[in-house]
Amino acid sequence: MPNDSYPSEKKLKQLVKQLKREHNIKTHQAYEMISQQLNKSNWREFKPKLHRYWQGLPPAPAVSLNFVDDDDVDLTDEEFDEIANERNKDLAIEVKQVVEQNKAELIRLGVEFSVFEPTNTGLTKSIFDATAPVRAHFKLEQFHYYDEQNQGQDFKIKIDSYLLLRDQSIRATASLYRPNTKNGDPRMWFSGMREYSSAGDQIAIVILGGSPYLINISTIDIAQELLYPDSLITQLLHRYVELNTAVSKELLDKLKILAQQPFPAQRSGDTAIGYTLEALLGIAANSSKLPDYKGIELKAGRGTLNRSNLFAQVADWDISPYRSSADILDAFGYQREIDFKLYCTVRTQRTNPQGLYLKYNAADDQLEEWHESSGLVAIWPGQLLRSRLLEKHTETFWVEAESSIVDGVEHFQLKSVVHTKKPIIGQLLPLLESGVITMDHLIKRSGTSNRVSEKGPLFKIDKRNLNLLFPEPSKYSLL
């Protein structure tokens, strides 16, 4: 569309509102759609062109690929390098923001994924490290088990994989193996990676139908892709969501049938709605701690992810240098009135006042607590933390029902359901490594009884960052 056909500022806002309403999308997605339609570009590129148009200015001159502006011609080499470095820093910040937005979008959808970074050496030698998050992801999806794989070329596994673009799915061969050298450290390679990515890019792996699909989340905007139903990336993600929500859809359909009219309670008291609902769904009453309906927990009432505590989990004392919470307290605690305490937050990004900090050991897939002078303190195996997170935060249907009395008998009318999905557990250790998730010690020796108590260690996440770990809760009306 030529410049003289660009909309006015008022008209643009009207178009945004219209697209949001028609496509049920967010504001930033509407701007991206408009940019694509009017200028075959993204909003970041189109916005300054629009502002110049509104101000009656001519289009800005094109910038060459080497980032040399007309004003740069008289610069010295040192000045030119300084400007180029600043621009590269700005570009790196923009790419990092895109990567984080893409991760958040995958998590919002409930897509399990892992991320790896191609290096110059890896691209040259056709070899990547299968990092701990990647190995954990493969195991979680029951795709590949490196810990059960023998070393050597005879045991290399090759399988079809796909490198995704909006309009192209490039078939590639994934090679998964453990070499005879380097202690058999897990390795992987995807053919076609030299053309698909550059060193330093962030590549997301999604497993679907027994095959890995790769998305370059440094160069692809997933939120924008989702605006286009014909995008192969959109189709992949929708297929993943559909296959992984079959049971929840089945349960939701059954609840909608039960919500067609009130039903009588089959017992009285606080557990009446839960017991009656399970009975009507054909779930036998038992004391098992397993989820109620094919892996989904049923709760009668409202439920939201509104607390920052994720779970409590002590270290694995069998492999830790310090063998108990009491040992850690004795070494690093402090006196507070009559009690001896160690109440503190420990994180990866910096050492706390007690000299403690966390470190993720990717080679051994374990979280480690260190002291700045005493060395290694405690160890949490990655699998222990992931299992604890899943145990604490299962997939749940929070059912809202309205109670009424009909002919002296309590009846329930189902109203709505809030569906909270399991966390994307492959992100747990990366979020610990980046400092988004922290750990709190809450150890105390009573000054009266001399007894040591441990309320933690509590693994916590800021409420603002829940979307980096949990898919977005969905609310459904049953009426």
Q: What is the pLDDT tens value at each position of the chain, 479 positions in all?
A: 444 578 887 888 888 888 888 888 877 788 888 888 888 778 777 877 777 777 666 665 444 334 334 344 444 556 555 555 565 666 677 788 889 999 989 988 889 999 999 999 999 999 999 998 899 899 888 899 998 999 999 999 999 999 999 889 999 999 999 999 878 899 999 999 999 998 999 999 999 999 999 999 998 999 999 999 999 999 999 999 888 777 888 899 999 999 999 999 988 877 788 888 888 988 876 545 455 677 777 776 433 333 367 889 999 999 999 999 999 999 999 998 899 999 999 999 999 999 999 999 988 999 999 999 999 999 999 999 998 888 877 777 878 888 889 988 999 999 988 787 778 888 999 999 999 999 999 999 998 899 999 888 999 988 778 778 888 777 888 98
The span from the CA of 421 to the CA of 475, in Å, is 12
pTM here is 0.56
pLDDT at 27: 77
**Cβ atoms within 10 A of the Cβ of 30, count?**
22
* Tokens of residue 9, six digits: 């500022």
Looking at residue 399, its pLDDT comes to: 86
Contacts of 414 (CB under 8 A, 6+ apart): 255, 258, 259, 399, 400, 401, 478, 479
Distance CA 138, CA 434 (A): 22
Dig out the tokens for 454 from the structure: 């441990």
Six token digits for residue 353: 């006042």
Let me know the angle formed at the C-alpha of 119 by 128 and 223, rounded to the nearest 5 degrees: 90
Residue 343 is encoded by which pair of tokens?
């109440």
User: Is-contact 358 367, C-beta < 8 A?
Assistant: yes
Q: Hey, what amino acid is at 204?
A: A
What's the pLDDT score for residue 305? 39
pLDDT at 22: 84
According to the model, what pLDDT value does residue 306 have?
A: 38
Q: What pLDDT sits at residue 302?
A: 31
Separation between Cα atoms, residue 417 and residue 401, nearest integer Å: 9
Rounded-to-integer distance, Cα 221 and Cα 215, Å: 10
DSSP 281: T
3-state secondary structure of 221: coil
